[in-house]
Structures are given as C-alpha cells and as structure tokens.
Amino acid sequence: MPLSLRQIRLNTKNARDTYERAKHQHFALGAFNIDDQVTLKAVCIAAQKKQAPVLVEVSQGEVDALGLDNVRDMVDNYKQIYGVEMYINLDHSPSVEACKAGIEAGFEFIHIDISQANHDATEEEIINATKEIVEYAKFTGALVESEPHYFGGSSNLHTEKIDYDEIKKTFSTPEGSAHFVSMTGIDTFAVAIGNLHGKYPVPKKLDLDLLQEIRNSIPCHISLHGGSGTPGHYFKSAVEIGATKVNINSDMRVAYRTTLEEQLKANPNEYAVVKLMDKVIDSVAEVVGSKIDMFNSAGKARI
C-alpha cells in the first residue's frame, strides 16, 4: 500500500535525525544492496540482532527487476515484522527522471549519479542535474547524495589486481569536494579515497589522511562506496573521522552465491529452492552483522 505524504515526510525526518546522530556519535549507517527478498530478510535479521539502523538500497538493475513500489512495500512489511529501523537508498540512480521516481515512491535516500550512465559527463552537467534533484527532494525531505565524476569498478567478484596509480587519478580533493558541495547543496558527498566497487583478490587501501582533510573541508555527510573487500580497521578509522554511510554489495553477493552453490550440490534432488535458502540467509546475515560491528552502529537503532 502506498505511503501517505505525511508518512513519507515522517520517515525522511527520522532518517535525517539518525544520520545526524551518526555524525555526532561516530557511527555509520550500513547501506546494503538487496537483490531479492532473501537478501532483504538477511539484512533485517542482522539489524534486529545488532539493534542497528540500516539502509537497504537498490540500483537501477534491481529497480528494473523488482520495481520501486514493490521495494517500498517489501521494506515496510519487513520493518514491521522484524521491528527494525530501516530506510531505503536509491543507489547510483542514472538520471534526473529516475531519481524523481524514487523520491515519489518515498525513498528516504537518493543517490544521483549522472556519470553512471555517461562516464564522460562534465562536472557542469553533473552539478546541474544534482541541483535539480536537491530542489525536488525538498517536497518529501529525502536526503540527496552525489559526486563530481565517475566512480570506478563494478559490484562483482574481480580477478584483476587494483591499479592504485590509475584510481588515484580520480581521488577526491578537499578543494574539489568543497566546491561541489557548495554548488549543489547535497546532504551526502560520495568520496573517493581508494574505495572501489567490487571485491578484488587484494585488500583495498583507504587514504585516511585524505579523508580527514575532506572531512575538514565540507559540512555535509560523507559516504564510502565500494566497501566490500576492505579490511575492517579502515572502516573503524573512517567512522571515527566522520564517514556516516558505507555501501556493501559484493561481499553479500559472494556469500549468497557461494552458499547457494554449496546447498545445491549437497541437495541434488531438491527442486524447491526455497527450502535451501535458510543457510543462504544466515550466510548473508553474518556478512551484514560483521559490517555493522565495523561501522560502530550496533545498539544505535531507534525503534
């Protein structure tokens, strides 16, 4: 059932309040991608166990598969069933129109990423589109996130090593971050300090000194994309510095697929796949719970 505008605005107010608590109490909201009901249930189980506020998020591929309104309804149903503090983030939404649809569906967090669809988009094009969504989001109070350029990698299991010399060319700078935030009025800046989408055969390395410089240069929230495959000590330090949102996807997908393959192999005559999903849910929930601990968000839920 669609939410009323009053309820949407209450949800976004609560989201803003929790986000501000995260900044002042030095914890981060985990933003966990959901592919289906199984991953949503796993996030809820972990959030309930840890008493942590969480975001679940869908990018355009999941939106195409599940539908904005269906995601909204599923999240609302599971929030009630599990009694958790949970919000929805529209992740890497590639167009102004798609972002507006997410706002109208009642999503509390909106990430506009024009460069996702057009890697060669100019900073001016990105700023103009972001400003339009910041203005549009005022109708519901949704929080808007953006960045000034394309963010590399993909939410998959990669076999190549990370070319840090190459990705350093796209690192955020304090001056560039401050300019982009002041020009757009965003709530959250998606920083690039060594984080990279996907899971790689080598651990990721974050430039925490650069993160501190950027934290000192901008007033808004900071998010870390591409959190999978990052050693936990980086998260703990980043949260203490002031990162308030961390995105996790590939670690969950690897746990999901690996466990499902094990269950299929162990049960070759079972064709009701739903009967094999309990261990998959447990495996994904374990990943989510471990990240919640790293983000210092356990025990921070308001329910």
Q: What is the mean pLDDT of residues 33-41?
A: 97
Give the per-residue pLDDT at 29: 98
Cα angle 12, 17, 20 (rounded to 5 degrees) comes to 125
196 pLDDT tier (thresholds 50, 70, 90) = confident
Domain boundaries along the sequence of the chain: 5-294
- Quickly state the pLDDT bin for 178 (edges 50, 70, 90): very high
Maximum Cα–Cα distance across the chain: 60
Going by pLDDT thresholds of 50, 70 and 90, the confidence category of residue 269 is: very high
DSSP string for residues in 10-62:
HHHHHHHHHHHHHHHHT--EEEEE-SSHHHHHHHHHHHHHHT--EEEEE-HHH
Pick from 11-15, 41-45, 73-77, 196-200: least confident: 196-200
CATH number (3.40.50.620, 3.30.470.20, 3.20.20.70, 3.40.50.2000) of 5-294 reads: 3.20.20.70
pTM of the model: 0.94
Question: 12 or 159: which carries more pLDDT confidence?
Answer: 12
Contact 186, 144 (CB under 8 A): yes
Instruction: Report the pLDDT averaged over residues 93-115.
Output: 97
Alpha helices in the chain (DSSP H): 5-25, 37-50, 60-66, 68-82, 96-104, 114-117, 123-137, 164-167, 174-184, 208-217, 232-241, 250-266, 277-294
Q: How far is CA 22 from the centre of its chain?
A: 15
pLDDT digit string, tens, across residues 206-264? 999 999 999 999 999 999 998 888 999 999 999 999 999 999 999 999 999 999 999 99
Q: Mean pLDDT, to the nearest integer, of 176-197?
A: 95
pLDDT band at 119 (very low <50, low <70, confident <90, very high): confident
Query: What is the model's pLDDT at position 163?
Result: 75
Predicted local confidence at residue 203, as pLDDT:
79
